[in-house]
Structure 1
Amino acid sequence: MMKYGYVLSLLSVSVFAQQPESGRLEKDTIQLNEVTVRGYETNRPLVETAASVNVLSGKELTQRFGTPALVPALNTLPGVRMDERSPGSYRLSIRGSLIRSPFGVRNVKIYWNELPLTDAGGTTYLNALDVRAIGRVEVIKGPAGSLYGAGTGGTVLLSGPGSGTTAREYSNQAEISALVGSYGLQGQNYSIQTGKNNAALSLNYGHLQSDGYRQQSRMYRDNLSLNGTFAVNSKQTISVMGLYSDLAYQTPGGLNATQFRANPRQARPSTPAVPGSVAQGAAIYQRTGYLGFSHQYRWNDRIQNTTVVYTSLTDFANPFITNYEKRTDQGVGGRTVTRWQVVEEGVPTQLVFGGEWQQNFTVDRNYGNRAGQPDTLQADDELRASQSVLFAQLEATLPLGIIATAGLSRNEVAYRFTRFSVQPVIGQLRGFEPVWLPRVALLKKLGEFISVFASVSTGYSAPTIQEVRPSEGTFNPALEPERGTNLEAAVRGQLSRFQFDVAVYQFKLRQTIVRRSVESGAEYFINAGATDQKGVETQLAYRLVVPKASNFWQTVRLWNSTTVTNYRFRNYQQGTADVSGNRVTGVPPLVTVSGLDAETRVGLYAHLTHQFIDKFPLDDANTVKSDIIRLLNATVGYRKTFAKRWVVEAYVSGDNLLDQTYSLGYDLNAFGGRYYNAAPRRNFTGGLKLGVRW
């Protein structure tokens, strides 16, 4: 208890979201009252937003850490955990356990420039994105079904550089960069942004590759993204967004404790019964194309509509220990949102309403794996997924600084499964009853820079396609959706140089979906009782200096982000054993991240980040726990502007400077105790950037 008391006495922090950058060469600001939040379609300052929301700017995504990846940046936020078991293999959890996510992103809804990136089957190819092409990340924590559909974890809104600006506000600029690092890390990035009159265009190409720390963990990714905005007239704006990603990464597999202690760099070895990762060429090969269109129409000063449509195609191949999976995902969908300022005077009232529809068609074939090559056909399946959401939200600004919000949505999900590799061919339909999800929130401003809020929201998360048809190869029509209710209260604000955000919540989840695995490592999923999830999330930041043009120190800021949780199983069965009362698998009781950011007038800057992760259970029985993790990262750089248009930047960054052997991503409830995926020991990255504006 002593260590928790000490941490809570510090409370906590983070860098509060900063405004979206109009260009990469622009500086960020950190004024809380200037941070505009897009979540729940409020477009209000953060201090007037009745929800737990964190924002990361482009600088926080690409400057604080030397390696261009979402993982370290997102892990600075309270309540957010992102894993990378091997380079390119992402897992993301918001206020929840990873027992449902052996890999990938589940139970979190993600949007890219207002387009749904999470498909109708619940799959998000987040690793297809290059962080260098992202200008802003906004994380909404807790159930957001009243506006964003099914999901009990949270919602992530991603925006490209310059997103939300008009063509006239775009600056003409270009940037090239290169980096090298330990374990064969290297990459390049090229971007150009231009705007003239009523048209603007942003193009970004990035390449990244690594030999990996472990055996069988090489990775490469090529990413091309395009964002074009065209003002048709004073009322209409059309945008086009395109993405192509070619990603490949090897998967070394989990180790048991003995193997991990003896040689953490080895891949999963072969046994007399099952071949290992190297022998089977275990890897992921993923090509993703995404094309979306957005149309914004401003009827008048009070009513405007944004409608987006998209199509996507992913070609996926996964030579695994026991089989070789080939999958093709084709997705299509759209979303429309209308914002209506119903009342402008007296009690200003805004109504937001709209809908979202998605459909996915998946062809999934499993073959035998003969040393990394597909062999005999084992299963030939087709899956169709459809998902629809209708939503409405009313927000009123009442007297005495009170803002009231009430939202409601109707959610419907259905899957159709057909297996052609058996006779007779029989299709199976799994439909879920439509669910209504309400959310109510009340916020009170205490002066200009401080507010308190409370909210009640409901969550609903249908099984994803990868859960009703997992790698174990069977179709499970009996798997039920998760359902839950979240109660939350928070206070946030700014007192001179001090910023704070403290939130407490209790989330009760029923029909919890959990992962089980067989000896080969293939997984399947079951519903196993309920969980009671209580948490405290705090953020604090203190500016040691006030920026002035004449000062040598332009920015010196201390910050900390802390998450304290008490997640417990309720009415929870593991086979014949009742594990009710145990801690929920994969959730640390304490995570605290602290940092120091400094920038000078001459262009020198430095970032220091320390992360502490307490022990947490790796199995539902709580018989095995992780090691305590302490990570130290430092980045030092120099950025200088010449002739008012040229910008040169150089930096060096060190990660895991305490040289700890640890696992950044455990395989929870793993068969045979193969929990561990070793992360790199002490490593370094250096890079150069050159930018020009005209």
Structure 2
Amino acid sequence: MLNRLLSAILFFYVFSQAPLSAQTPASSLEDTLQLNEVVVRGYATNRRLLETPASVGLLTRRDLNQRFGTPTLVPALNTLPGVRADERSPGSYRLAIRGSAIRSPFGVRNIKTYWNELPLTDAGGNTPLNALDVRALGRIEVIKGPSGSLYGAGTGGTILFSGLGVPTGKSSVEVSALGGSYGLYGNGISVQTGKNNAAVSLTYNHLQSDGYRDQSAVVRDNLSLIGSFAVSPKRTVSVLALYSDLHYQTPGGLNEAQFRANPRAARPATATLPGSADQQAGIYQKVGYLGFSHEYRWNDRIQNTTVIYGSTTDFANPFITNYEKRADQGLGGRTVTQIRLATNSIPTVVTVGAEYLRNFTVDRNFGNRRGVADTIQTDEELTARQSTVFLQTESELPAHFRLTAGLSRNDVRYGFTRFPTRAVGALPATLLARNFSPVWLPRVALLRTFGQNVSAFVSISTGYSAPSSQEVRPSAGGFNTTLNPERGTSYEVGLRGSAFRNRFRFDVAAYQFQLRETIVRRSDAAGAEFFVNAGRTDQRGLEAQFSYDFLSPAYFSSQSGLFSLLRLWNSLTLTNYRFRDYQQGSADLSNNKVPGVAPTTNVTGIDAETKAGFYAHVTYQFLNQFPLNDANTVLSDPTQLLQATLGFRHALGKSWVLDVYASGDNLLNRTYSLGYDLNAVGNRYYNAAPARNGIGGVRLSVKW
């Protein structure tokens, strides 16, 4: 109630301060950049994407906040080739880059994430992706494949987040509201100022829904403060503060018969276990994060960025068989120095730095008596430490070649203590440690440009991923001292560019990733997970992204004409992931397909925007069937998903902009699962996604 009242007060206050005048066309949500103009931050190059020797997917504000009406990260991430985001129930995210979700029953693991050099992934390898609100984001870069030479341990990839851009010399306020099917409601306020050598953005967003399935309601409040202050010509200080209060219910997986009979049902009770609704299964999560960044430019050739942060997480999970309560405190820092060597023959940029992360976790399990914590079962503490030092050189060679070489040293350590839980006959405290041997991770990439519009690259990179804290200490309990890190080598070639006067753009990459000691998930009879190493996997893939502008750049920039954007685009992912040397009991699963990875994923869309302010986005997604268990005895259903958004964005006078939109999801009304439980006990693989549903919303902003 408070957030609705605050939105209304601010809305009417701002509305009363500026009179409306004659209508003029509003600017697009963002400028349309050509491929040879797009600059990315991946691998600290800060170069055009065309000159970056790596597979990098880019999502802009249009992709995140206009193409889809659903205010989540999931649909936008799924437009990138090689990236797959799931939402098994509202608020329960799972993310895979090049198939890395095989070890993630929930959450985000095996992926490093940063917000302007500030690490968001903790020392235990976990990322609270559901603590971010897509409405507060302005840009996402996804680096696909191992990137340990600069970002540390991980075999999946790296994600770089950025907030909403703040216009220089301007201040603005935007209020928004949305509503839709299944009790969906949300609102938000964003206040920005870019004056007096400062850029500050304060954003509050609320979202709630009753959910499509039984026991699947969600309520989320997010508050973020992003500030950047130029305290001198050479020095910039920045701050990032995030707070998220999230509660979502977990309906649990269904077997195929239950899924076909009633996909909206929550997991029912059995003869030995209660159902999800009976136990009030769900997640209560409060996340706080505070980080500071200091950038210093000694001169045109040398600059340093140093960051520090602290985080806290209050987590509770009433599950069918137990009730977990966890408190986590994290801290860490990162420093990166770039040096441009003064040489005329071979211009070189050297990047050197280090990163240190530490987390301390208190984890207790209780019995669950219909959503109330009962008798304590385990009382444990876990300390995670992760350190990385790295060096990278980037040299411009003759004949339009560019060579990048990097090397990092990674060290991961865990300390575990289990305390007695009974006064009579209690065992003494158990002290265990798991220190993985430090590893060196090299990466080499060579790129050549062909004119201003085409480039090709080859790269060899090594990946290393120690078990995450949720894998060495899984929900099944205990501390796993036998789980080994994943190690692998990735070979990749890529070609990107544009043709027909930049109207046609393409980005194609092929890779082979040979992974050893692959970590996979298992479940016990009660559904609690644990993890084992599954030998080797051979992961081969082809990723392609194409787009075509039906009208020339000269037409878009002219004053006459109807459209400001008219584009057809396509993202294609082809994979062949198989186990090698994988023995499960007496069964030889070698050459079986890795579960959870679709052999073909194809996403096609049309984006249209008119100079009068009307816009439309249509997206069609197809995934063919893939195995749901290691034995390959159960396959998913093929997925066909159609989504569309229609909107009107227009200026009201010189200062105001009104944006009204309507969006439809699953317009073909398919029964499908947006996220399967892989290798599920009792064949409970299925988590039904919403049937056909609609969303409508409005945004009103003023600038001065």
* TM bucket normalised to smaller: over 0.9
From 457, 460, 470, give the equivalent of 1:456.
460
Quick one: which of 625, 628, 647 aligns to 1:618?
628
**Alpha-carbon distance in 2 for matches of 1:223, 1:690:** 20
Q: Do residues 477 (structure 1) and 474 (structure 2) align?
A: no
Alignment-derived partner of residue 48 in structure 1: 51
Aligned partners of 1:372, 1:216: CA distance in 2, in Å? 12
CA distance in 2, matches of 1:26, 1:671: 46
Instruction: Determine the C-alpha separation between the residues in 2 that align with 1:549 and 1:658.
Output: 38
Question: Does the C-alpha gap of structure 1 residues 97 and 309 become closer, same or farther in structure 2, counting only changes over 3 Å?
Answer: closer
Displacement of 1:170 in angstroms is 5.2
Matched, 1:675 2:681: no
Q: Secondary structure at the match of 1:261?
A: helix
The corresponding residue for 1:595 is 605
Partner of 2:637: helix, strand, or coil?
coil
Aligned partner of 2:435 among 431, 434, 450: 431
> Quick check: 1:65–1:653 contact (8 Å CA) kept in 2?
yes
Confirm or deny that 1:557 pairs with 2:567: yes
Report the equivalent of 1:193: 192
Give aligned pairs, total: 668
One-letter code of the match for 1:102? Answer: P
Aligned pair partner of 2:544 in 521, 538, 547:
538
SS at match of 2:127: coil
- Write the deviation string for residues 630-660 of structure 1: whole angstroms up to 9, x where unpaired: 0000100000012221000100000000000
Aligned mates of 1:97, 1:566 — CA distance in 2? 14
Task: Give matches, 1:312-391, under 5 Å.
Answer: 312-391=311-390
Measured against aligned partners, the alpha-carbon deviations of 1:319-375 in whole angstroms (never above 9, x if no partner) come to 001000000110000000001001353321000000000000000000000000000
**Root-mean-square deviation over aligned CA pairs:** 1.1
Between the aligned partners of 1:101 and 1:37, the Cα distance in structure 2 is: 28
- 2:18 is matched with none
Of 655, 658, 672, 1:662 maps to 672
- Secondary structure at the counterpart of residue 196 of structure 1: coil
d(CA) in 2 for partners of 1:582, 1:687: 46
Contact 1:219 1:248 in 2 (8 A): yes
1:527 aligned to which of 499, 511, 533? 533
User: 1:24, CA displacement in angstroms?
Assistant: 10
Q: Distance in 1 between matches of 2:674 and 2:436?
A: 35
Q: Quickly say closer, same or farther: Cα 1:344–1:652, change in 2 above 3 A.
A: farther
Tell me how far 1:98 sits from its aligned partner.
2.2
Q: CA deviation at 1:545?
A: 1.2
CA distance in structure 2 between the aligned counterparts of 1:462 and 1:192, rounded to whole angstroms: 41
Match of 1:505 in 2: 511
**Alpha-carbon displacement from aligned partner over 1:437-478 (angstroms, at most 9, x marks no partner):** 000000000111100000000000000000000000121011
1:140 paired with 2:146, answer no
SS at match of 1:99: helix
Measured against aligned partners, the alpha-carbon deviations of 1:90-122 in whole angstroms (never above 9, x if no partner) come to 000000142200000000101123210000011
| 8 A Cα contact 2:168 2:195, kept in partner | no
In structure 2, relative to structure 1, the CA distance for the partners of 1:614 and 1:26 (3 Å cut) is closer
Contact 1:113 1:160 in 2 (8 A): no
Selected match of 1:573 from 567, 576, 583:
583
- The residue that corresponds to 2:237 in the other structure is 238
Alignment deviations for residues 159-206 of structure 1 (CA, whole Å, 9 cap, x no partner): 1112xx7xx825311101000000011100100100222222110000
* CA distance in structure 2 between the partners assigned to 1:524 and 1:350 by the alignment: 44
Alignment of 1:158 onto 2:161: yes
Tell me, yes or no, if the aligned pair for 2:400 and 2:450 is still in contact at 8 Å. yes
Alpha-carbon distance between aligned partners in 1 of 2:303 and 2:115, rounded to the nearest angstrom = 20
**TM-score w.r.t. length of structure 2:** 0.94
Contact 1:97 / 1:585 at 8 angstroms: preserved in 2? no
Secondary structure of the 1:400 match is: coil
Check 1:133–1:25 CA distance in 2 against 1; reply closer, same or farther (3 A cut). Answer: farther
Q: Give, in whole Å, the separation in 2 of the partners of 1:607 and 1:114.
A: 32
CA distance in 1, matches of 2:495, 2:343: 27
TM norm structure 1: 0.95
1:604 to partner: Cα distance? 0.5
**Is the contact made by 1:574 and 1:620 (CA closer than 8 Å) also made in structure 2?**
no
Per-residue CA shift, 1:262-293, capped at 9, x if unaligned? 00000000011000100000000000000000
Cα distance in 2, alignment partners of residues 97 and 270 from structure 1: 32
Residue 516 (1) aligns with residue 525 (2): no
1:82 & 1:237 partners in 2: Cα distance?
35
Separation in structure 1 between the aligned mates of residue 275 and residue 213 of structure 2, nearest angstrom = 14
Partner-residue secondary structure (3-state), 1:127: helix
Runs of 4+ in 1 over 3 A off after TM superposition: 23-26
1:550 deviates by 1.2
Q: Partner of 1:413 in structure 2?
A: 412
User: Is 1:182 the counterpart of 2:181 in the alignment?
Assistant: yes
SS of residue paired to 2:149:
helix
CA distance in 1, matches of 2:353, 2:231: 23
Structure 1: runs of 5 or more not aligned = 1-22
Note if contact 1:24-1:58 (Cα within 8 Å) is conserved in structure 2.
no
Give the equivalent residue in structure 1 for 2:227: 228
Q: 1:444 aligns with which of 431, 444, 448?
A: 448
Gaps of 5+ in 2: 1-25, 421-425
Are the aligned partners of 1:97 and 1:584 in contact in 2 as well (CA < 8 Å)? no
Take 2:535 and 2:243, find their aligned partners in 1: how far apart are those partners?
41
* CA–CA separation in structure 2 for the residues paired with 1:510 and 1:24: 51
Sequence identity (%)? 65
Q: Deviations over 1:19-45 (max 9, x none)?
A: xxxx99752323111111100000000
Letter matched to residue 695 of structure 2: T
The reply to whether residue 287 of structure 1 matches residue 290 of structure 2 is no
User: Would the alpha carbon gap of residues 621 and 97 (structure 1) be closer, same or farther in structure 2, given more than 3 Å must change?
Assistant: farther
- Counterparts of 2:641 and 2:343, CA distance in 1: 50
Separation in structure 2 between the aligned mates of residue 136 and residue 126 of structure 1, nearest angstrom: 15
